[in-house]
Amino acid sequence: MTGDRRPVPATPRPPTEPPPGGAGSDEARIVREASAESGTVLLTLTGSFGVSTVSRLHEALTDARHERATYTVLDLARVTFGDSSFLHELLSAHFSHRNLLLVGPIPRQLHHLFLRTGTLRLFTVLPDRARIGLA
């Protein structure tokens, strides 16, 4: 029959999974740790930080800024993924906190993100906590 316009059933697609180590691969967590140094806020970040989870980092950094911390230290060694929204939050913190320190070792994916965007030079990055007496 000519002109038969019955809808063609869609071919089912297999569910997509996030790439290993990519967005959504594990939950973003932020733990505020006690610091022996007065005026230092130490935040340990773990997991994947993207559009849907970066608000957690924003809240933690806002709290630190309201406390007028002398140093805000972000331990990034256990971050498995960070996207442009994560980078945006780090850049905002860089310009709004008196002394923002990033502590590593910085994961390969984040290091690559910083290099590709030319932002690595903006941050004070320390190879590990021992460099600032937080081992």
Q: What is the domain-level CATH number for residue 36? A: 3.30.750.24
Closest CA to 64 of 88, 93, 92: 93
pLDDT of residue 29: 97
Res. 11 pLDDT band, cuts 50 70 90: very low
What is the Cα–Cα distance from 70 to 82, expressed in whole angstroms? 25
| H or E segment to which residue 126 belongs | strand 124-126
Do the beta carbons of residue 78 and residue 110 sit within 8 Å? no
Res. 37 pLDDT band, cuts 50 70 90: confident
Question: Does 69 reside within a domain?
Answer: yes
Question: Does 59 reside within a domain?
Answer: yes
Residue 3, pLDDT > 70, answer no
Question: Does 21 reside within a domain?
Answer: no
Question: Does 11 reside within a domain?
Answer: no
What's the whole-number mean pLDDT along residues 93-118?
A: 95
Mean pLDDT of the chain: 84
pLDDT of residue 17: 35
pLDDT of residue 39: 85
For residue range 16-30, list pLDDT tens digits in order: 333 444 444 579 999
pLDDT of residue 38: 79
Question: Does 44 reside within a domain?
Answer: yes
Question: Does 7 reside within a domain?
Answer: no
* pTM recorded for the entire structure: 0.78
